[in-house]
Amino acid sequence: MTDAIEIEGLRKVYAGDGKSPAKEALKGLDLTIPTGSIFGLLGPNGAGKSTTINIMAGLVRKTSGKVRIWGFDQDRNPRQSRAAIGVMPQELNLDPFFTPHGALEVQAGLYGVPKKDRRTAEILDLVGLSDKADAYARTLSGGMRRRLLLAKALVHHPQILVLDEPTAGVDIELRQMLWRNVRRLNKERGLTIILTTHYLEEAQEMCDEIAIVNHGELVIRDKTATLLDRLDGKTMVITPEAPPGDIALPDGVDLDHRPDGSLALTYSRGKVSAEQLLAAVHGAGITIRDVRTEEADLEDVFVSLTHGV
């Protein structure tokens, strides 16, 4: 199967309540997500990410459009499409009186997983909760509760795993543990991972491809490396041996004197070459102690695309 998710013309309109008008959360969204990929779904608050995820999970009814999950049309085969996807939500929606073991067993029962096919102990070990299997959920730390949410999303052996802001508010150690497990699931089991996150460096490091949505529409979808190449700007940071004097720079180059004494020269690679910048620096009689470059990152791309720059 080429695509794990196929979305065509997806619209969602939330009806008004008399005090506020109807809101069109999704405006004919078209999106495909390749099988076996780690795919980032990004966008500012209110962009339509959560609505899209909730429609895929069968939690929100779409207004119109087509959604196919693992080849199953959501309208024709709702049970099969829901069984193919597991969702780790943002909210810590756990019953405080269940143990992790009990919560996973109940979840497996709700999905109709036979007892002989349940992997409760294996999943608890995967998320690092084996030693808390019989502790009440109310006694778990916030990080442990997030691990339990991940475990619940895996009990029915889904082919697709959606992680909705999975590391929001967690410490670095837990974040790293979570991503080690996600990479393992993707590599060893071929699980397709869909990630939404506000940590853009996380998406940059983890995702093979990224789609950015804004105001209910797809802004761009491409491979992560290709997105980073979209911005033409680059910065050369020079540390001089001594405080510099005036520098005659080519047109279109911005000079910033940083607090540490370095010079940040920002330029367009399509208009100015690195050789021209270095020649201008040497021409000003500056001796270079160190030089490095700074490339655009995903945050730059995100801001550029969602603010129409």
- Choice among 73-87, 249-263, 284-298 with the minimum mean pLDDT: 284-298
Q: How open is the CA angle 85-152-2, to the nearest 5 degrees?
A: 20
pLDDT, position 19: 81
Res 308: pLDDT: 54
**Residues present in the chain in total:** 309
Q: Write out the DSSP string of 204-257.
A: HHH-SEEEEEETTEEEEEEEHHHHHTS--EEEEEEEESS------PPTT-EEEE
3-state helix, strand, coil in the chain (%, to 5): 35, 30, 40
What's the pLDDT band for 107 if we cut at 50, 70, 90? very high
pLDDT confidence of residue 232: 65
With tokens 């655009």, the residue in question is 296
Least confident of 136-150, 164-178, 281-295: 164-178
What is the structure's pLDDT at 76?
96
Residue 33 reports pLDDT greater than 60: yes
The predicted pLDDT at position 309 comes to: 41
Task: Compute the average pLDDT of residues 11-21.
Answer: 87
Tell me the pTM: 0.78
Q: What is the DSSP string of 120-157?
A: HHHHHHHTT-GGGTTS-GGGS-HHHHHHHHHHHHHTT-
- Kindly report the backbone phi and psi dihedral angles of residue 272, in degrees, each rounded to the nearest multiple of 5, phi listed first: -130, 140
pLDDT digits (tens, 9 = 90+) for 124-168: 998 889 999 999 999 998 888 988 999 999 999 999 999 998 887
Question: CB count, 10 Å around CB of 194?
Answer: 24
Q: Are 67 and 56 in contact (CB under 8 A)?
A: yes
Distances, alpha carbon 17 to alpha carbons 25, 63, 186, 250, in Å: 15, 17, 43, 58
Average pLDDT of the residues of the chain? 89
pLDDT at 254 over 60: yes
- Which residues, 6+ apart, have CB-to-CB distance to 102 below 8 Å? none
Higher pLDDT, 235 or 31: 31
Q: In which order are the strands placed within the sheet that holds 254-257?
A: 254-257, 263-268, 233-240, 288-294
Q: What is the pLDDT of residues 182-236, one digit of tens each?
A: 899 999 989 999 999 877 888 888 999 999 999 999 999 999 888 877 666 788 9
